[in-house]
Amino acid sequence: MNTRFLGQLLLTVLIAAYGEWLFVDKYFFISSANAEDVKIANADKPLLLGEKIFISQSNILHPCCKEDNRNELSKKETESIHYKSLRYLEDYRYLRNSQNTDFWRPVKYIPLGKYIPLGDQEDWYLSIGGEMRQRYEFNRNELYGEEFVGNSHNWLQRYMLHGDLHLGTNVRIFSQFMSTWQDWRKTGLRPEVDENAFDLHQGFMDLTARLGGNNSVTLRFGRQELEYGSGRLIAGREVPNNRRSFDAIKLLFNFGNWSIDSFLGQPVKNLTGVFDDVRNSDRSLWGIYAVSAWQLLPDGHIDLYYLGSDNRHAVFTQGRGHETRHTVGTRIWGNPLPWKYNFEFIGQFGQFDSNDIRAWAVASDTHYIFSQLPLKPQFGMRADITSGDSKSSTLGTYNPLFPTGAYFNLAELGGPSNLLHLHPTLGFSLTEKLKASFDWGFFWRQNVNDALYSITTIPIFSPTSTVEQKHFTGSSPAVVLTWEPVPHVTVLASYVHFFPSDSFRTGHEAKEVDYFTTWVTYKF
């Protein structure tokens, strides 16, 4: 065990312990609310960003349904501060006249008028926040044995610090730094996702024109995280050590019930050094994403979008080539308790070198909560079908673009290309602070002439003429425990097993997989 690891671990423990000791010793606090009851606070984007994550295995990793994000300036003064996955969505203006007793309350809303003669300009303020995450992984036969046969261990650390500066209601500057480290992994670093010594993860400016009422137009330019809908196509990639950001320019429109984003950018390539991250000039993303309430369904909402992407070095079963892909789709979702529903329909077309692209996907995520029963059981079913490639020259493989980091469970055994997937889930609230969920995913290839793909759309197992091809690839049970012992701290533990099908085992020598991970996150 090296001294770097010991020093970082000790620093994390001391900071977290000291902060929580002061908090408990000096202040009365209200325990963290159930994540299902937390409203997203975001005055600038009333519907578009900031998913609500339900406490169940599939939904921790793959948010189901989004809530109305409108800022709640009338929050109770004693309510605990809640933190978002996309930290720039947090809006702490409600603290300006609040007696909230959270330990970090003084740095969440720092009025600049105290230090600069601005008069009564309460919209001139600074907010500071951060995160520390310590994570352990155990893998037996990583990636079906393709990556490593036998037992392997991995220790991952993530440190993030951000500042959110508001210069009135029209100008905002947000910056976030990230430092991530990896130790013990026998096969070395995974490119872009494991380690980044220190770099600017986000740094953007907002220029906003207020148009009366809740209507506004905002120009955002700089390095920023993007996340839309359920994260099936564009997500901040929370689970891996390195989160994902883009060098992008974006226009945000809010008109009545509609929230519309248009954007153009390129992903940031996470490198391992200090301030060495660069824009990935081989890949581009552009699009329009619109969200509105939809009264035809209970608590209904609808997303409509067009996404364009370009990849100069795409890899599919057909080979390597230049891919230009256009994605159009809609998502219909809502939370008319005790139900939660989320349906998405996606079509894709474009060019892969000189060949056409024709691909599609249909996804659903439905839950029912028995809130009056002991333990509040929540039953759910996820179902996905995405197109695979046939033997024709037209490329039929669905591309999920920049999806959430762990699509089906934390083991990250595959991605949603060429797939038929059924995934029953069952969740419980064991206590107010301890949640448990169980799920079992069943996986088939949609087309036996196409490969099984990773989350980054790289073929893992390609079909061969010497092996009889079958649709069914295997099943994967998983369990997740999530515990919030005190505000700011989240502890998660998960175990995943994968049973390969007989044809997958004999034809591709796929092995059974055991995966365990646990992490502790401290946010402020």
Buried b (16+ CB within 10 A) or exposed e, 174-208: bbbbbbbbbbebeeeebebbbbbeebebbbbebeb
Looking at residue 99, what is its pLDDT?
A: 76
Looking at residue 137, what is its pLDDT?
A: 97
Looking at residue 42, what is its pLDDT?
A: 36
CB 449 within 8 A of CB 482: no
At 144 the three-state DSSP class reads helix
Tell me the backbone φ, ψ of residue 52, rounded to 5 degrees. -85, 130
* Residue 182: closest CA among 169, 168, 167, 196: 196
At 440 the three-state DSSP class reads strand
Cβ neighbours for 389, distance < 8 A, ≥ 6 positions apart: 316, 317, 318, 395, 396, 397, 418, 447, 449, 450
At 331 the three-state DSSP class reads strand
Alpha carbon 294 to its chain centroid, in Å, reads 25
Looking at residue 122, what is its pLDDT?
A: 84
CB 405 within 8 A of CB 239: yes
Looking at residue 305, what is its pLDDT?
A: 99
Cα 436–Cα 442–Cα 446 angle in degrees, nearest 5: 140
Tell me the backbone φ, ψ of residue 48, rounded to 5 degrees. -80, -40
CB 413 within 8 A of CB 61: no
At 167, the amino acid letter reads L
CB 306 within 8 A of CB 228: no
DSSP code per residue over 60-71: HHS---PPP---
What distances in angstroms separate CA 278 from CA 195, 211, 223, 275, 516, one per listed residue? Answer: 15, 36, 11, 9, 33
Per residue of the chain (524 residues), give pLDDT as tens: 455 655 565 555 555 444 444 443 333 332 233 333 333 333 333 333 333 333 233 343 333 344 444 344 444 444 667 899 999 999 998 888 877 778 898 999 999 987 777 766 888 999 999 999 999 999 999 988 888 888 999 999 999 999 999 999 999 999 999 999 999 988 888 889 999 999 999 999 999 999 988 899 999 999 999 999 999 999 999 999 999 999 999 999 999 999 999 999 999 999 999 999 999 999 999 999 999 999 999 999 999 999 999 999 999 999 999 999 999 999 999 999 999 999 999 999 999 999 999 999 999 999 999 999 999 999 999 999 999 999 889 999 999 999 998 899 999 999 999 999 999 999 999 999 999 999 999 999 999 999 999 999 999 888 875 566 789 999 999 999 999 999 999 999 999 999 999 988 887 888 999 999 999 999 99
400 prior amide bond cis, ω within 30:
no
Beta strands in 16-73 (DSSP E): none
Token duo for residue 421? 């997937």
E strand or H helix that includes residue 519: strand 513-523
Could you give the domains of the chain?
A: 3-523 (2.40.160.100)
Q: How many CB atoms lie within 10 A of CB 479?
A: 15
Alpha carbon 40 to its chain centroid, in Å, reads 15
If you ran DSSP here, which 8-state letter would residue 393 be given? S
Residue that has been written with the tokens 């730094």 in this structure: 177
**CA 187, CA 182: separation in Å to the nearest integer?**
12
Cross-strand bridge partners of residue 132: 159, 522
Residue that has been written with the tokens 């608590």 in this structure: 299
What distances in angstroms separate CA 137 from CA 132, 258, 376, 377, one per listed residue? Answer: 17, 42, 30, 28
E strand or H helix that includes residue 11: helix 3-26
What distances in angstroms separate CA 249 from CA 199, 252, 319, 326, one per listed residue? Answer: 20, 10, 32, 19
CB 194 within 8 A of CB 185: yes
Q: How many CB atoms lie within 10 A of CB 81?
A: 22
Distance between first and last Cα of the chain:
29
Looking at residue 8, what is its pLDDT?
A: 61
487 prior amide bond cis, ω within 30:
no
Beta strands in 144-277 (DSSP E): 148-167, 171-183, 196-210, 216-224, 246-255, 258-269
Looking at residue 506, what is its pLDDT?
A: 82
Looking at residue 48, what is its pLDDT?
A: 36
Four-point Cα dihedral 396, 417, 236, 311, nearest 10: -40
**CA 435, CA 427: separation in Å to the nearest integer?**
7
